[in-house]
A and B are shown apart, each in its own frame.
Chain A
């Protein structure tokens, strides 16, 4: 148990659907992250929030929309996705963004399939 939870664990959606992924951390951390893990690729950083402000958007298509309403919660809103967006989406948190000793604590991920 890492202290970071994600729901749902599995999601199947059509290309016209709208869905949201939820992440919650109970560690008192100030930074939260969304990563994408595609088959045979390294973890790709999508978004970074520090103190509830978005500080990084790694050229992610606008069909992915993050939201950080408070320091404990992070959402990823999905709409009009493509089949190539099927992947494992991981949420992580760390005490602060940028600290060299601040390892990241990961959630279990949401396995997303886009039909």
Chain B
């Protein structure tokens, strides 16, 4: 059973603060990693698709990096806004033909 971990479990920040959290996965094999944002009462939506060691992706104030050799990905949010409040999930796939395994998520609350 693959172990995909995310830390911290939850996070409370003030509006305007920058924050980051981590997704850890086994470094022995890597195929792809996806980040999703899941707002309350809505569907999870894909943020980033990461496939190569060293990948850096950016969407507005949110960015992500990937280190496959050490088995982690970081998600950064610059200048957090209340609308960034959500659970952020990562999903890891070690090889073609296998299924993505989701981490437990980081629940972010941005206080106005």
The chain A residues found within 8 Å of chain B, CB to CB, are 2, 4, 40-43, 45, 48, 56, 90, 97-98, 100-101, 103-109
Tally of contact residues, B, Cβ under 8 A: 26
Chain B residues near A41: list those with CB within 8 A. Answer: 104
Known: A42-B102, A90-B44, A108-B43. 11 other contacts (CB 8 A): A42-B104, A42-B105, A43-B102, A45-B100, A98-B97, A100-B96, A101-B51, A104-B46, A105-B43, A108-B41, A109-B43
Q: Which of B4, B32, B45, B98 contacts A101 (CB 8 A)?
A: B32
CB pair A56–B99 under 8 Å, yes or no, is yes
Interface of B is mostly: loop
Interface of A is mostly: loop
Chain B residues near A107: list those with CB within 8 A. Answer: 43
CB distance from A9 to the nearest CB of B (A): 10
Chain B residues near A103: list those with CB within 8 A. Answer: 34, 36, 46, 49
CB pair A106–B44 under 8 Å, yes or no, is yes
Contact status of A104 and B43, CB under 8 A, knowing A42-B4, A42-B105, A43-B89 = no
Chain A residues near B42: list those with CB within 8 A. Answer: 108
CA distance A36 to B102 in the complex (A): 11
Pair count A-B, CB < 8 A: 53
**Can you give 13 contacting A-B residue pairs, CB < 8 Å?**
A4-B43, A43-B102, A45-B100, A45-B101, A48-B99, A100-B49, A100-B96, A101-B32, A104-B34, A104-B46, A105-B43, A105-B46, A108-B43
B31 lies within 8 A of chain A by Cβ: yes
Chain B residues near A101: list those with CB within 8 A. Answer: 32, 49, 51
B93 lies within 8 A of chain A by Cβ: yes
CB distance from A105 to the nearest CB of B (A): 8
